[in-house]
Amino acid sequence: MDSSDAQAGQSASELSFEAALKRLEEIVRTLEQGEAPLDQSIVLYQEGDRLKRHCEARLKAAQARIDQIAFGSDGKPSGVTPLDAG
């Protein structure tokens, strides 16, 4: 079993951003080659869609964390402020 087979067995939410992005890139290459049978292409497309949404959510969460970094009067990070998710 290679790493993409192992990753395919995990749900998108279990993957790190980097692993999800790598798997998404593999799926895109496979679909662009056009050599996968239709049924497999549909399954790959659905997996790719889940991975894309997972990556977008991880990026949004990271951006929210970055936005919450507090800077002191010297312009250096001095801590974080609580994230107001509401």
At 82, the pLDDT band (50, 70, 90 cuts) reads low
Q: Give the separation between CA 86 and CA 2, rounded to whole angstroms.
A: 42
**Tokens standing for 30?**
């496979």
pTM: 0.68
pLDDT digits (tens, 9 = 90+) for 26-71: 999 999 999 999 999 999 999 999 999 999 999 999 988 888 777 7
At 73, the pLDDT band (50, 70, 90 cuts) reads confident
Q: Where are the alpha helices (DSSP H) in 1-86?
A: 3-8, 17-33, 38-67
> 29, 21 in Cβ contact below 8 A?
no
CATH hierarchy code of domain 7-80: 1.10.287
